[in-house]
Structure 1
Amino acid sequence: MLKNVAVALLDGAHPFELGVVCEVFGMDRSDEGLPVYDFAVVSADGPTLTTHVPGFTMGTPHGLERLESADLIAVPAGNEYVVRDYPRPLLDALVRAVDRGARVLSVCSGVFVLGAAGLLDGRRCAAHWLHVEELSRRYPRAKVEPDVLYVDDDPVITSAGTAAGIDACLHLVRKEQGPEVANRIARRMVVPPHRDGGQAQYIERPLPAAPCDTVGEVLAWMDQHLAEEMTVEQLAARALMSPRTFARRFQQETGTTPYRWILRQRVLLAQRLLEATDETVDAIASRTGFGSAAALRHQFLRAMGITPNAYRRTFRGPAAA
């Protein structure tokens, strides 16, 4: 049962990400019949910590010994967490916690601390889209899922950006104390009670540009004709290559297949149209080459983890959908 929560901070901690964990686990809501957690903020870098906000410092009387009794240790984001080294006593405390059955949870760049402790090895994990490449490079044994909001690979829970930390914390409350408790806490915080971890981060992630111009002209043509049917044979003829040679060159220069490239660009165009226009889903399906609203919904849900109408509501409000 989740009762004892500690937040481990390093110098340069981000107050907002700390506040996310404090809001979910550190508030006394006993007057509403909600659980009260034994909550503490712990410093791994001395009694006084700087933050990434100039002139804003934090102090806590708790040292690393407080982690030994925690059921959950949360590690929020911090300045330079992506590149800095971490105190060995903190990393050892995190490993001991997992070994004795406690959970650890990271918010945004806090995931790098878990990686340094070896807790991501062989595990699925989430990261802010800005940090995915560096996290994969530094911890190659981690199974980084680049688009999702959070990943629960119990006992290690990792989340992407700031708001995804709220989702991960509420997910854990839901898992431990049930949906009613999680929903009531979310209502107090005025946030959505549940966003599934597999929902995609709301970013535009174009595929890498080709490093040379062998298929560059064809890529430009494809991008301008997404509504049209395309086959490898047609694209190869445009590039004056055989289909086999074209497919091989395309893979080498873009890192993906022609089908996947087209599909991703069509989804990106659908995102932009859902955000910026009042066109119906049927009209957007036609403009993006999916042909039908059902096909668009299927591919959009598969790529983004959310339906087109739900995506539009998120960005433009309920009336737009």
Structure 2
Amino acid sequence: MTVLNIGWIGCGRHATQMLMPQLGRNNINIAAVCDVNEKAAASAAWQYGAEAVYTDFRDLIAHKGIDAIGMAVGPDLHETASLVALEHGLPVFLEKPPAKDRPGAERIALASEKAGKPVLLGFMKRYSTGNRIAGNMLASGDFGDVLGISGSYMTAPTYFEGEADYTGFYLHHCVHYMDLIPWLAGADLADLAVRKREPKPGHLLFHLNFECQNGVIGTIVMGTVQSRGTPMEHIQIMGDHIRLEVDNIINVACYRNPPFKADDPAACLLEKADTLSWEPNFTAAANEDHKGYSALMADVAAAFRGEKTNAPDIVDGVRAMANLERMIALL
């Protein structure tokens, strides 16, 4: 398999601990790194064997021999740097959000189309093990029509630094479900309604009720009133006499329509009726990434090579940003 040389922008903890470790596993060599904090960039270069260190993203993009650009920085720089990379004819991977607003994402989409180069996005929730299993079951056709979806995705008020501005929470947290829920439902969000509680500044809880374009209904619960040290996610997908539940992105159960067994002396478990469940085996000596970054970057690498993949792209990013802005307008 051809080794790709990537130039990476943004060498913070998320990039160096979550994203960059997945690149080598997918035959992507980190050739150059960039960060306004030169010490952070130098540390990342040492960890991943990059040959060059930059503090200006334009210099990195101009680095000789680069095949693609990856970045995990702020939404403003995501837009600016990706536009420059596309002008140089380079495909791009962006951590979410793609930009600070929908028009910014649309500008990237237009530039991607003009350059004929993909822009892939870090919507790894699609790749989290439990969500991916659920998505594959829905796509198989055995589940039948999705009737409703409910999801809870909480966090703590850690996006604020002494100021209750929810922008970071919306852009870095809520945007995930603006992508994930339409992906599971098989259609974009249509009608939206919101109810909220805010016991004090920075502490927000809201319920987003929705109907998708294909008739799927549901509720998303999000907020900043839970500890990040506890499980924060639960998804239930409802069908006709069947439902899927994904707990904390890793525990999956499929409930069907089993017979009552208490009065049946010959009762047994029926493959077509009884509950199927799966839990990860954390005792196995395996390098598994249940959050989804490894599987995401495998699809990103394939897309960089011109192969057809299911990696979320800038079109998905435009949709997610549009949904996010509609939701924010109701809060």
Q: Shared fold (TM-score greater than 0.5)?
A: no
Which structure has the higher relative contact order (CA within 8 Å, separation 6+)? 2
Q: TM-score range by the shorter chain?
A: 0.3 to 0.5
Higher relative helix content = 1
**TM-score, normalisation: structure 2:** 0.36
**TM-score, normalisation: structure 1:** 0.36
Structure showing greater radius of gyration is 1
